Structure 1
Amino acid sequence: MKYTQNLSPDERKMMRSVFWRSWTMNASRTGATQYHALGVIYTLLPVINKFYKTKEDRAEAIVRHTTWFNATMHINNFIMGLVASMEKKNSEDPDFDTSSITAVKASLMGPLSGIGDSFFWGILRVVAAGIGISLASTGSPLGAIVFLLLYNIPAFIIHYYALYGGYSVGANFIERMYESGGMKILTKVSSILGLMMMGSMTASNVKFQTILQVSVKGSKEAMKIQTYLDQLFIGIVPLAVTLVSFWLIRNKKVNVNWVMLGIMVLGIILGMCGIC
């Protein structure tokens, strides 16, 4: 309980509210740029309402957290604690760089998810399921109960202490970074890591494979367009679609739902025409 000793009664009450709200984070998947964003905003509302006194400041903080977010459940509370601490610092310091909040949040998603996925999905769940299945195979009704307890008790404890750990570390972390002048470096590095992660996700999740072929006179084999596209730049079409979508949303203020609908219609048309 050392994480809570230095907190005021109001802060402890605020963090308890954040903790219980954080269970809804992974239940708010809305797609596109709002992935888990609604859950993040709902989780951080006690922080925003406590530290920001005007409607304008609160609105700005809420808009700041509409960005894409996805990290392993339970361990993602460390990010929420750190972000809560940074929001507190921002409310106290008029020279605070608000872009660092989004940058740090984005940069921690990948590394923490790598740890969280390996532990929760690859180790804890498998071990708990193995023990539960062995009991269930003997006809014992305790199999399901033991599985749920073995998985959820450690998950609950980590979920709790990750939040308070992030909040406690955040205050000292931010103070040291500002004193050393390292916040600008951290923000820059975090932004780069965030962009790298988004680029990797684009390459992994946005797919395009054309079956279009062009007959060449005097040749028995048709020229496959996809082969030449790959020789030119692997993933050039998914990259182009992503950049055009970003340009429409960012510069032309096109609603993201219209962009998604346009991509779906384009995919259907290309499929019906035998292009992909």
Structure 2
Amino acid sequence: MTKLEKKELNKLNRSSFYRSLTLSGSWNYINAQGNAMAYTLFPALKRIYKDKPQELKEAMKRNMAYFNISPPFSTFLAGVTTSMEEENAADSSFDAASINAVKASLMGPLAGIGDSLFWGTFRIITTGIGISLAEQGNVLGPILFLVLFNLTYMVPRFYGFKFGYNVGAQFIQKAYQNGLINIITKAATILGLIMVGGMISSTVSISTNLAFTVSGTEYKIQEILDQIFKGMLPMIATLACFALVRKKVSANKIIIGILVLSMLLAAVGFI
């Protein structure tokens, strides 16, 4: 596997940092930060798959998959992904599916750590420092807050690619030697399914008001459905949207369809 030279690694590290600034601005309901992640990785992928346009196309498509993470840690995963893409380009027996599997297994924990660390801790501490000065009429209060918070926020983001690349290369080599990569891929797939199931349960809320009466006893459809399979309607709705996405139906059409269908079902008293 051809390793990046120091000069080239530094160049890609800077490129990764600047391109990662598009993460929040390009967020969408289909693949979240996936487009920005592919954009962040493009210079590295272009270098890895030089003179291999079809493989570059496949790599870009692969890295546009759903991705959502606390932005300061995004470049770290970009570095890890780059090392795995290098291995994929050099070894024909490499399982390309493991690239997204590793990303999926790491982005959840890193997102939780990043949000609590940067937004829940560093932001509060630096805000407190800034406010204490601002209350005294010191103009340095807001300036100091911006400087201190952005130092904690941007430093790991700037050096993340280089660190992730170096760690990732060593990790992949050892993982393949002891067969760990297959275990990680399978575990990541299971974890991803669990996360999707939990997300559906917590964010999709659909219930029906329909009921019928038999011999003077009222039976509510929703209560019956909950006894059979709790969360059945949210699951059906999610799977229907997923099927439309796989058929290349645009997100805007799906959202408009949901709005229209919701109004119709509410009008007839279904929900």
1:227 is matched with 223
Distance 1:143 1:154 in 2: 17
Q: Does 1:50 align with 2:47?
A: yes
Distance 2:32 2:219 in 1: 40
What TM-score, normalized to structure 1? 0.89
Q: Could you say what the CA RMSD is over the residues aligned between the two structures, in angstroms?
A: 1.9
Output one character per residue of 1:147-195: Cα deviation in whole Å (capped at 9) or x when no partner: 1122111111111232222111011111111111221111111111122
SS in 2 for 1:214: strand
1:3 is matched with none
Check 1:242–1:136 CA distance in 2 against 1; reply closer, same or farther (3 A cut).
same
Output one character per residue of 1:106-153: Cα deviation in whole Å (capped at 9) or x when no partner: 111111111111111111111112222222233332221121122111
Output one character per residue of 1:50-99: Cα deviation in whole Å (capped at 9) or x when no partner: 01022111111111012111111102222111011111111111221110
SS in 1 for 2:71: coil
Check 1:224–1:144 CA distance in 2 against 1; reply closer, same or farther (3 A cut).
farther
SS in 1 for 2:137: coil
Offset at residue 257 of structure 1 (A): 4.0
Alignment of 1:1-276 (within 5 A): 7-32=5-30, 34-53=31-50, 54-215=52-213, 217-219=215-217, 222-250=218-246, 252-276=247-271
Which amino acid counterpart does residue 145 of structure 2 have in structure 1? F
Offset at residue 208 of structure 1 (A): 0.8
Output one character per residue of 1:242-270: Cα deviation in whole Å (capped at 9) or x when no partner: 122223433x4544443333222211212
- Larger deviation, residues 6-15 vs 128-137: 6-15
* Percent of aligned positions that are identical: 43
Distance 2:76 2:193 in 1: 21
Q: Is the 8 A contact 1:37 1:69 kept in 2?
A: yes
> Which 4+ runs in 1 deviate beyond 6 A?
none
Distance 1:8 1:161 in 2: 13
What TM-score, normalized to structure 2? 0.91
Check 1:136–1:209 CA distance in 2 against 1; reply closer, same or farther (3 A cut).
farther
Gapped regions of structure 2 (runs ≥ 5) = none
Output one character per residue of 1:223-244: Cα deviation in whole Å (capped at 9) or x when no partner: 4332222222221101111122
Which amino acid counterpart does residue 127 of structure 1 have in structure 2? I
Q: Is the 8 A contact 2:45 2:59 kept in 1?
A: yes
Which amino acid counterpart does residue 121 of structure 2 have in structure 1? I
Check 1:197–1:218 CA distance in 2 against 1; reply closer, same or farther (3 A cut).
closer
How many residues get paired? 267
Distance 1:196 1:93 in 2: 31
Gapped regions of structure 1 (runs ≥ 5) = 1-5
